[in-house]
């Protein structure tokens, strides 16, 4: 089956540093990738949608200068949390879709990145 | 805007019984409805997809129904096992949008 690899699985860093999270589709071409944020015992909150080769579409309230998304190839998208602060600590999850209607295919999720900012 | 409600935040059932989870929605007419399982600290895993013209879908011990008149989907796990304990998410989707519910945390008690 389709596999999405997300790296790193957890990261702890000091306030003010930037953190990059990678999301790779290992065995299929991901034309669309999503980035979610999840707080404890809450559902997924969509942050942004990215299509290969174009700028990401951010959800309302998500700072695009804070959360930089790059989808440079059909197998890789990255999320960079710039100048991270403790309030950015969360569980970040990516997912990927192949070509076709979004709803007519499964979303393939990575295993998430636990980000802790000290 | 669309609203998705999953019947309860948490559901406890006895091993061997059938677990039934509910997903209700308003202000939206999805062409597809999906169910996912999420374990703590992991990403969601796809379980089943049902289309608006399908009433029911089965996969092993899982069964999903989709009632577009009631705007509701039911997710059943028969002969439940402790290993089925997880959070289950429903997702409504169209051609280029996808919305997740808040999830139901299922605990199967041995």
> Looking only at Cα atoms, what is the longest distance across chain B?
41
Nearest to A103 among B42, B95, B105 (CB): B95
Give the C-alpha separation, B1 to B95, whole Å: 17
In the prediction, which pLDDT does A72 show? 82
A93·B43 Cβ contact <8 A:
yes
| pLDDT grade for B7, boundaries at 50, 70 and 90 | confident
Would you say residue B74 has pLDDT above 80?
yes
Nearest to A111 among B43, B96, B98 (CB): B43
Instruction: Give the CB-side neighbour count of residue B26, counting CA atoms within 13 A.
Output: 3
B10 close to A (CB below 8 A): no
Give the C-alpha separation, A45 to B78, whole Å: 30
A74 close to B (CB below 8 A): no
In the prediction, which pLDDT does A114 show? 97
In chain A, DSSP finds a helix count (H) and a strand count (E) of 0, 11
* Residue of chain A minimizing CA distance to B5: A43
Give the C-alpha separation, B62 to A1, whole Å: 19
What pLDDT, in 10s, does the model give residues B20-65? 999 999 988 889 999 999 999 999 999 999 999 999 999 999 999 9
Task: Tell me if residue B39 falls in helix, strand or coil.
Answer: coil
Any idea which of B1-15, B33-47, B65-79, B83-97 has the lowest mean pLDDT? Answer: B1-15
Give the C-alpha separation, A114 to A21, whole Å: 10
Residue spans of chain A under pLDDT 50 = none
Instruction: Give the CB-side neighbour count of residue A5, counting CA atoms within 13 A.
Output: 9
Would you say residue B98 has pLDDT above 90?
no
Would you say residue B78 has pLDDT above 80?
yes
Nearest to B43 among A42, A46, A112 (CB): A112
What pLDDT, in 10s, does the model give residues A56-85? 999 999 999 999 999 888 899 999 999 999
In the prediction, which pLDDT does A52 show? 83
- Return the C-alpha torsion angle A16, A18, A19, A22, nearest 10: 160
**Who contacts A100 (Cβ-Cβ below 8 Å, separation ≥6)?**
none
B100·A44 Cβ contact <8 A:
yes
The two structure tokens encoding residue A115? 């980000």
Contact list in B for residue A105 (CB cut-off 8 A) is 49
Mutate to test the interface with B, among A44, A50, A57 (most CBs of B within 10 A): A44
Mutate to test the interface with B, among A23, A60, A92, A102 (most CBs of B within 10 A): A102
Average pLDDT, chain B: 93
With beta carbons less than 8 A apart as the criterion, state whether B76 and B19 touch. yes
Nearest to B49 among A34, A43, A106 (CB): A106
Would you say residue B1 has pLDDT above 80?
no
Average pLDDT, chain A: 92
Instruction: Give the CB-side neighbour count of residue B104, counting CA atoms within 13 A.
Output: 24
With beta carbons less than 8 A apart as the criterion, state whether A43 and A19 touch. no
- Return the number of CB contacts < 8 Å for A and B: 69
In the prediction, which pLDDT does A41 show? 79
What's the gap in Å between the CA of B29 and the closest CA on chain A? 12
């Amino acid at each position: 089956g389709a596999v999405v690899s997300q790296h790193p699985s957890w990261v702890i860093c000091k306030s003010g540093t930037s953190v990059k999270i990678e999301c790779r589709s290992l065995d299929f071409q991901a034309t669309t990738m999503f980035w979610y944020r999840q707080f404890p015992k809450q559902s997924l909150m969509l942050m942004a949608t990215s299509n290969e080769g174009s700028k990401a579409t951010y959800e309302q309230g998500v700072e695009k200068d804070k959360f930089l998304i790059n989808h440079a190839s059909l197998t890789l998208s990255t999320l960079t949390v710039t100048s991270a602060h403790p309030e950015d600590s969360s569980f970040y999850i990516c997912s990927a879709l192949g070509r076709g209607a979004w709803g007519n295919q499964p979303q393939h999720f990575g295993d998430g990145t636990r980000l802790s900012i000290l | 805007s669309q609203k998705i409600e999953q019947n309860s935040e948490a559901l406890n059932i006895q091993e061997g019984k059938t677990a039934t989870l509910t997903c209700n929605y308003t202000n939206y007419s999805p062409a597809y409805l999906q169910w996912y399982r999420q374990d703590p600290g992991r990403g969601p895993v796809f379980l089943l997809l049902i289309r608006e013209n399908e009433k029911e879908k089965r996969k092993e011990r899982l069964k999903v129904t989709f009632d577009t008149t009631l705007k509701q989907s039911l997710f059943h796990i028969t002969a439940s096992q402790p290993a089925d304990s997880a959070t289950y998410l429903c997702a409504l989707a169209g051609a280029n949008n996808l919305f997740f519910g808040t999830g139901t945390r299922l605990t199967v008690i041995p």
